[in-house]
């Protein structure tokens, strides 16, 4: 195909409506020119983005795989694979033998999202239009396996007995607790008795449930990592607990501040510390557990993105070392979607009854159909497939981010392990100071955050330290955002 759109038969038409302006098929050309190893994925991403941003409107008929492959000069198999993948995800629909169209479901989703109530800060689509928001902790919501989730929901609706639609066990459906117990043992080395696993609304509710229980037991304060997630402090505050910052070094929490803080409970992110990105050393993990035993205390292990490690197998959960001192929690927020509000906590025996009773009085249990659908995905292998898929995509985006930092801000170093959905970048002082860096980025529609926003430390070397989320941004958006920032800084 030529960029002018005069093609050898791939001219798109609309199904059942006026054909209107032709979609710009040339937007697929850069993907077709990607290195062979990445070409298939690049083609899928470009098509997905074109549908998401509306450049390919719902109802648009796509060219036949043969015609598009010829125009793009790629193998027909790549195009077929892209069509199949996007059909499975719900972006496209195909009628065997008669063609492939951009799905109406996409239009519906977009229209539904359009004018509604104001979304919470930063929850807008991040790589559309002129804005590039490098907000940390956000997965790519377009990777949500719509087809697999729909199939799981259909299957459970057909199979679930009527009784399963009554108030659920406040711990969660037995079928999901068993499935999660097996998965967490296999993937994260968690020691799980399904009777002590509580299904809840994400890590957030796990922290809240634990906070209320600790408060009732007489705790007044909880230790949080510094730097750390601002959400932890807010969640515990909602239960009446104060939080105490505990400074980290490159190995984890250091012993002295912990013993001096006078707390008997802490929340930590040892597999991939948020936000610094370090993995706690084995020594500090042991030290933390020794401390918990010595004060008859508890550790809340927030395993928010522990599944994603790009250079080696993830470090196993701390909980496996002492299931009676560690409350383990995780969720599907990074692997499926935060909007599902589905998570789990594995509770020490000494806390189980109180946590389960709190969960019962808080909401009488978690929605049963979603639980059953997740159980279906976990036991059927769909959840593992999704994790593998996210892992591939996020690794590629991390690589793209590192390459863009090197290109636009030479001398930048990235700290922390190769894992998760964000990195910490230390940009040389000549690009600073931090306030100017962030302001210039904002001026050109790029939203970046300084590490200082997440803790109390104020390093004096003049370098700009950034917490950069990349998982929700395409390589193109990542490069564009950093390129524009570099240009604005002059």
Ligand X SMILES: Cc1ncc(COP(=O)(O)O)c(C=O)c1O
- Is the Cβ of residue 404 or residue 421 nearer to ligand X in the bound state? 421
Residue 275 CB, nearest distance to ligand X (Å)? 8
C-alpha dihedral over 210, 216, 221, 227, to 10 degrees?
A: 10
- Is the Cβ of residue 394 or residue 437 nearer to ligand X in the bound state? 394
- Is the Cβ of residue 56 or residue 318 nearer to ligand X in the bound state? 318
- Is the Cβ of residue 265 or residue 479 nearer to ligand X in the bound state? 265
Sheet hosting strand 242-249, strand order edge to edge: 197-200, 343-346, 326-331, 298-302, 265-268, 221-226, 242-249, 252-253
Using Cβ positions, the residue closest to ligand X within the complex turns out to be 202
Residue 269 CB, nearest distance to ligand X (Å)? 6
- Is the Cβ of residue 10 or residue 278 nearer to ligand X in the bound state? 278
Phi/psi for 249 (5° steps) reads -120, -165
**In this structure, are residues 146 and 344 in contact, taking their beta carbons and an 8 Å threshold?**
no
**In this structure, are residues 202 and 232 in contact, taking their beta carbons and an 8 Å threshold?**
no
| All residues at 6 or more sequence positions from 325 whose CB lies less than 8 Å from its CB, including other chains | 289, 292, 293, 297, 298, 299, 348
Residue 383 CB, nearest distance to ligand X (Å)? 15
**In this structure, are residues 223 and 255 in contact, taking their beta carbons and an 8 Å threshold?**
no
Bridge partners, 268 (sequence order): 301
Structure tokens, 7:
């093609």
**In this structure, are residues 100 and 82 in contact, taking their beta carbons and an 8 Å threshold?**
no
Residue 121 CB, nearest distance to ligand X (Å)? 12
Give kind and range of the element (H or E) at residue 461.
Answer: none
Q: How far apart are the first and last CA of the chain?
A: 38
Residue 155 CB, nearest distance to ligand X (Å)? 25
Q: What does the alpha-carbon distance between residue 409 and residue 431 come to, in Å, rounded to a whole number? A: 8
Q: What does the alpha-carbon distance between residue 210 and residue 195 come to, in Å, rounded to a whole number? A: 17
Q: Is the dihedral of CA 232, 234, 239, 241 positive or negative?
A: positive
* DSSP per-residue codes, 240-294: T-EEEEEEEETTEE-HHHHHHTT-SEEEE--SS-TTT-PPPPHHHHHHHHHHHHH
Residue 152 CB, nearest distance to ligand X (Å)? 20
Say if residue 255 is exposed, middle or buried (CB neighbours under 10 Å; 0-12, 13-18, 19+).
middle
- Is the Cβ of residue 444 or residue 450 nearer to ligand X in the bound state? 450
Q: What does the alpha-carbon distance between residue 78 and residue 164 come to, in Å, rounded to a whole number? A: 43
Bridge partners, 295 (sequence order): none
Residue 431 CB, nearest distance to ligand X (Å)? 26
* DSSP per-residue codes, 291-346: HHHHTT-EEEEE-TTTT-BSSSSPPPPGGGG-TTTEEEEEESTTTT-GGG--EEEE
- Is the Cβ of residue 101 or residue 304 nearer to ligand X in the bound state? 304
Residue 448 CB, nearest distance to ligand X (Å)? 17
- Is the Cβ of residue 58 or residue 333 nearer to ligand X in the bound state? 333
Q: What does the alpha-carbon distance between residue 357 and residue 355 come to, in Å, rounded to a whole number? A: 5
- Is the Cβ of residue 142 or residue 229 nearer to ligand X in the bound state? 229
Q: What does the alpha-carbon distance between residue 400 and residue 405 come to, in Å, rounded to a whole number? A: 9
- Is the Cβ of residue 343 or residue 416 nearer to ligand X in the bound state? 343
Residue 137 CB, nearest distance to ligand X (Å)? 4
Residue 274 CB, nearest distance to ligand X (Å)? 4
Binding site for ligand X (CB under 6 A): 137, 202-204, 229, 231, 269, 274, 302, 304, 331, 333, 338, 343
Residue 204 CB, nearest distance to ligand X (Å)? 3
- Is the Cβ of residue 92 or residue 373 nearer to ligand X in the bound state? 373
- Is the Cβ of residue 102 or residue 190 nearer to ligand X in the bound state? 190
Residue 60 CB, nearest distance to ligand X (Å)? 35
């Amino acid at each position: 195909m030529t960029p002018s759109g005069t093609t050898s038969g791939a001219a798109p038409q609309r199904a059942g409506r006026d054909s209107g302006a032709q979609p710009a098929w040339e937007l697929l050309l850069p993907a077709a020119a990607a290195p062979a190893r990445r070409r298939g994925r690049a083609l899928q991403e470009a098509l997905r983005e074109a549908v998401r941003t509306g450049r390919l409107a719902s109802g648009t008929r796509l060219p036949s795989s043969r015609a598009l492959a010829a125009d793009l000069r790629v193998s027909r198999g790549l195009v077929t694979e892209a069509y199949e993948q996007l059909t499975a995800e719900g972006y496209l629909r195909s009628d065997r033998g008669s063609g492939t169209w951009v799905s109406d479901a996409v239009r519906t989703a977009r229209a539904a999202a359009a004018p509604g109530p104001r979304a919470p800060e930063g929850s807008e689509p991040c790589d559309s239009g002129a804005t590039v928001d490098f907000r940390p902790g956000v997965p790519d919501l377009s990777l949500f396996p719509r087809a697999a989730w729909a199939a799981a929901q259909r299957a459970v609706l057909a199979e679930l007995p009527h009784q399963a639609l009554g108030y659920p066990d406040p711990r969660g459906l037995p079928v999901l607790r068993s499935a999660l117990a097996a998965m967490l043992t296999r993937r994260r080395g968690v020691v799980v008795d399904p009777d002590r696993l509580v299904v809840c609304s994400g890590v957030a509710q796990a922290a809240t449930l634990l906070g209320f229980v600790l408060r009732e037991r007489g705790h007044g304060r909880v230790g949080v990592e510094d730097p750390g997630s601002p959400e932890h402090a807010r969640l515990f505050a909602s239960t009446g607990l104060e939080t105490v910052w505990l400074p980290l070094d490159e190995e984890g929490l250091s012993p002295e501040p912990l013993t001096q803080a006078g707390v008997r409970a802490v929340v930590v992110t040892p597999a991939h510390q948020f936000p610094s990105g370090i993995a706690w050393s084995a020594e500090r993990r042991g030290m933390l557990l020794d401390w918990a035993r010595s004060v008859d205390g508890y550790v809340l292990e927030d395993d928010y993105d522990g599944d994603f490690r790009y250079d080696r197998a993830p470090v196993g959960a701390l909980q496996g070392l002492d299931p009676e001192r560690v409350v383990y929690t995780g969720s599907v927020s990074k692997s499926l979607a935060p909007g599902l509000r589905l998570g789990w906590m594995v509770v020490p025996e000494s806390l189980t009854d109180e946590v389960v009773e709190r969960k019962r009085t808080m909401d009488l249990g978690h929605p049963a159909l979603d639980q059953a659908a997740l159980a279906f995905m976990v036991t059927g292998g769909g959840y593992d497939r999704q994790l593998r898929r996210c892992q591939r995509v996020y690794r590629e985006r991390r690589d793209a981010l590192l390459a863009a930092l090197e290109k636009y801000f030479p001398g930048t170093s990235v700290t922390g392990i190769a894992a998760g959905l964000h990195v910490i970048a230390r940009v040389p002082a000549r690009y600073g100071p931090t306030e100017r860096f962030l302001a210039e980025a904002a001026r050109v529609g790029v939203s970046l955050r300084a590490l200082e926003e997440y803790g109390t430390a104020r390093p004096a070397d003049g370098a700009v330290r950034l917490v950069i989320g990349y998982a929700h941004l395409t390589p193109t958006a990542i490069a564009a955002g950093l390129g524009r920032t570099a240009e604005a800084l002059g």
